[in-house]
Amino acid sequence: MRPMEAVNIFFLGKGGVGKSTSSALTALSLARRGDDVLLVSLDPAHNQADIFESRFSDKPRRVAPHLEVVEIDQERWIEKYLKGVHEEINRNYRYLTAFNLEKHFEVMRYSPGLEEYALILAFEETRKRYPDHRYMVWDMAPTALSLKFFNLPGLSLVWINQLLALRKEIIAKRELITKVRLLDREVETDKVLRRLERSVEEYTALARLFQDSARTRIELVLNPDRLSLAESRRIVTELRRIGIRLHQVVVNKVWDGASLEDLKQEFRGLPMVTVPQSETQLIGLDVLVAYLDDKGLDFHEA
Ligand SMILES: Nc1ncnc2c1ncn2[C@@H]1O[C@H](COP(=O)(O)OP(=O)(O)O)[C@@H](O)[C@H]1O
Ligand SMILES: [Mg+2]
């Protein structure tokens, strides 16, 4: 039997609301039920190291039974992404080497969009490299970058489909003019076409993954205050535009006597987990475990 594909759980929300803490608590509570969990820090701030009082890298490190942690080094993945593009151009678009490619790459290093492409690459590679976990819990980057991350497949598809149409037009025209003379070049044209078609397949699969509630759960973390609610609204609107729905709302740092009525009204129809404000710092495995038990927290019923 084919192993079941992992469920990806993403935490989104304003800085400081408790995404990293909620990721850690969720990962831990799932692992304690006996499911294998990989907690992946995609945020360059890498709070998981502080939360678990440990050092992490791109190799999974076990912090508790069934729970391993990985840290994604964004800079390294940016380098990796650039290198991949470089190699591909050298391999498939040889006739372009007449131009000054190196200069082009220096510009590309600073181009907008690079971070989210690197993040998507890291996401895909991490999934491929560690396919044996039931859950992959993703501690996300700041809101703006995270939204670009989820938007990337759809946006790329718009671009690539345009390029595909253009490419097909070029090929058609070329065939009208001469069929024989450009034999060499035609092989390369086909390569370009095939590469574009492969990209369409990859991004389509990714867009489907993000929209598939059986494999993707988006958790919105917020506090019972107006600022985090305002940012949450923007996140919800943006996700809806992309066709991604929220799975659950995590109201964190709920102090005694805080009113949740407005939040319940705002997010009616969605499951809501409330996490009380802790008097002690939520740092260290023992503290987290005790907190889960003490408050009877269960992040995932199903
Ligand atoms: N329920 C809670 N009770 C008390 N402190 C919390 C709680 N959740 C988070 N914190 C603290 O708030 C700060 C921000 O939390 P963190 O998880 O790093 O947020 P984010 O990842 O969203 O920036 C940290 O110091 C963390 O220990
Ligand atoms: Mg964080």
**Pairing, β 135-139 against β 248-254:** unpaired
CATH number of residue 129's parent domain = 3.40.50.300
Q: Which atom of ligand 1 is nearest to the CA of 280?
A: 4
Q: Which of 86, 50, 100 is nearest to 71 (CA)?
A: 50
CB contact at 8 A, 153 and 207: yes
Q: Which of 20, 32, 21 is nearest to 63 (CA)?
A: 32
Has residue 177 been placed in a domain? Answer: no
Has residue 265 been placed in a domain? Answer: yes
Has residue 255 been placed in a domain? Answer: yes
Beta strands, E only, 186-298: 216-222, 248-254, 272-276
Q: Which of 141, 152, 74 is nearest to 113 (CA)?
A: 152
Residue 223: both structure tokens together: 């506090």
C-alpha of residue 268 to centroid of ligand 2, in Å = 26
C-alpha of residue 27 to centroid of ligand 2, in Å = 14
Has residue 96 been placed in a domain? Answer: no
C-alpha of residue 278 to centroid of ligand 2, in Å = 17
Has residue 94 been placed in a domain? Answer: no
Has residue 161 been placed in a domain? Answer: no
Full residue range of the structural domain in which residue 136 is found: 7-76+112-150+214-295
Residue of minimum CA distance from atom 9 in ligand 1: 18
Please state the domain count of the chain.
Answer: 1
Q: Which of 301, 288, 7, 264 is nearest to 133 (CA)?
A: 7
Q: Best substitution site from 20, 21, 279 to test ligand 1's pocket, by max atoms within 8 Å of Cβ?
A: 21
Question: pLDDT of the chain along its 302 residues, tens only?
Answer: 555 789 999 999 999 999 999 999 999 999 999 999 999 999 988 899 999 999 999 999 999 999 999 999 988 988 988 888 888 777 766 666 656 666 777 777 777 788 999 999 999 999 999 999 999 999 998 899 999 999 999 999 999 999 999 988 888 887 665 555 555 555 555 778 888 899 999 999 999 999 999 999 999 999 999 888 999 999 999 999 999 999 999 999 999 998 899 999 999 999 999 999 999 999 999 999 999 999 888 877 65
* Ligand index nearest the alpha carbon of residue 14: 1
**pTM of the shown model:** 0.90
Has residue 181 been placed in a domain? Answer: no
For residue 237, which amino acid is it?
T
C-alpha of residue 185 to centroid of ligand 1, in Å = 57
Has residue 220 been placed in a domain? Answer: yes
Pocket (CB within 6 angstroms of ligand 1): 13, 15-21, 47, 252-253, 275, 277-278, 281-282
How many Å apart are CA 232 and CA 251, to the nearest integer? 11
